[in-house]
Amino acid sequence: MNPSRSHGIRISGVSKVFAGLPRPAVDDVSLDIAPGEFMTFLGPSGSGKTTTLSMIAGFVPLTSGSICVDGKDISGLKPHKRDLGVVFQQYALFPHLTVAKNVAFPLQQRSVPKPEIRTKVDEALALVGLSDCADRLPRQLSGGQQQRVALARAVVYQPRALLMDEPLGALDKKLRDQLRKEIARMHRELGMTFLFVTHDQEEALTLSDRIAVFNNGKVEQVGTPTELYERPATLFVAQFLGESNVFTEDGDERKFVVRPERLDLHAGPDSVPDGHQRRKAVITEVVYVGNHHRIGLRFDGGTEGSAMRLAGAPLPAAPGEPVIASWSPSHQTSVQGG
């Protein structure tokens, strides 16, 4: 399949108010998705990420704001005129049509000539590795296979972007990992703009070019996975994306966070490097997680936190014993909120 021309999506001041709900489901969200970008909406359930996707797809009308694809406002268009591909959590394959007929459906709607439909369907099924399932019915396939058919169906007509609403949510762990890799590969091969909605931070971190973190209908922060993980702007982002040790600046209300793997633990003050920040703590537990130990800490003042040691590295102290946690100031990040 040829890489399709890429298209950008611009969301400007979009809000959605559902009648009878106290606060907007989506509250003045503005985002720019670059052509060919893999953008992920990450957030807990009820944070507005799926509603935003539904508004882009056209299933839910906007209360205010606008959505543009390639600079053209599409917020007034019916869903079938938007030329976007959508993949749903529950596959949404047509149960009475074979796999090939499902994938052919969008092409038939576009009056593509029959021979061309056949080649494109074959190509799309080959892309997801299901060429020999063309004549089966959806219910004869596993969940993972069904979702791959749904992916093939959503990209076969080279839509302007592919929107995915928790596409891995209904699958078990192993299939999820497998399909995640396939989605990454499809993005590389197709060069299409991908918009991916998930509540799973691991999916978000491993797949995305950029992530928009949603909370309470608002976007907390947009950035690359590294930016979000290393430099979270808000306490919510710091805690939703990975683990964080949260500290309060002395004589100040401002908070800053340090990631567990950035903490050094010392039995005594002598070994703390010059220029490092430090806090006294007590080890509460040591949990073996295979390739590393997660070390639970209680800092002076009672805050809970954690540090990480690779498997094989010696522990400075045993559970119940005091330690000194230190970190380089370059690894601490001031956050808002909380």
Partner 1 sequence: MTPMNSEQRSSVQRGAAQPGASQPGADRLSQTVDMAGATSTRHNRRSATGWILLPAIAVLLVFFFYPLAIIVWRSFTEPAIGLDNYTALFTDGVSVTVLLRTLRTALIVGVATLLIAYPYAYAMTRVSRRMRAVLTVLVLLPFWTSVMARNFAWYLLEQRGGLIDRFFSAIGIDGVVLLGSVTGVTVAMVQVMLPFMVLPLYSTMSTIDLRLMDAATSLGASRPKSFARIYAPLSLPGVVSGFSLVFIVTLGFFITPALLGSPQQSLVSQVIETRVGDLLDFPGAGALGTVLLVVTLVVLFAVSRVARPATALNQAVDRA
Which residues contribute to the site for partner 1 (CB under 8 A)?
Answer: 57-59, 78-80, 82-86, 88, 90, 92-98, 101, 105-106, 109-110, 137, 153-154, 157
Q: Smaller CB distance to partner 1: residue 137 or 175?
A: 137
Q: Please, what is the minimum distance in Å from the beta carbon of residue 88 to partner 1?
A: 6
Q: Please, what is the minimum distance in Å from the beta carbon of residue 186 to partner 1?
A: 17
Q: Please, what is the minimum distance in Å from the beta carbon of residue 86 to partner 1?
A: 4
Q: Smaller CB distance to partner 1: residue 106 or 260?
A: 106
Q: Smaller CB distance to partner 1: residue 108 or 328?
A: 108
**Residue 187 DSSP code:** H
Q: Smaller CB distance to partner 1: residue 141 or 283?
A: 141
Q: How far apart are CA 39 and CA 195, in angstroms?
A: 5
**Residue 330 DSSP code:** G
Structural tokens at position 19 = 């009648």
Q: Please, what is the minimum distance in Å from the beta carbon of residue 182 to partner 1?
A: 20
Residue 284: how many other CB atoms lie within 10 Å:
14
Q: Smaller CB distance to partner 1: residue 145 or 326?
A: 145
Sheet (strand 72-73) strand order: 26-33, 9-16, 64-69, 72-73
* Degrees to nearest 5, angle at CA 277 with 272 and 282: 70
Q: Please, what is the minimum distance in Å from the beta carbon of residue 59 to partner 1?
A: 5
Q: Is 257 helix (H, G, I), strand (E, B) or coil?
A: strand
CB of 166 closer than 8 Å to CB of 91: no
Q: Is 213 helix (H, G, I), strand (E, B) or coil?
A: strand
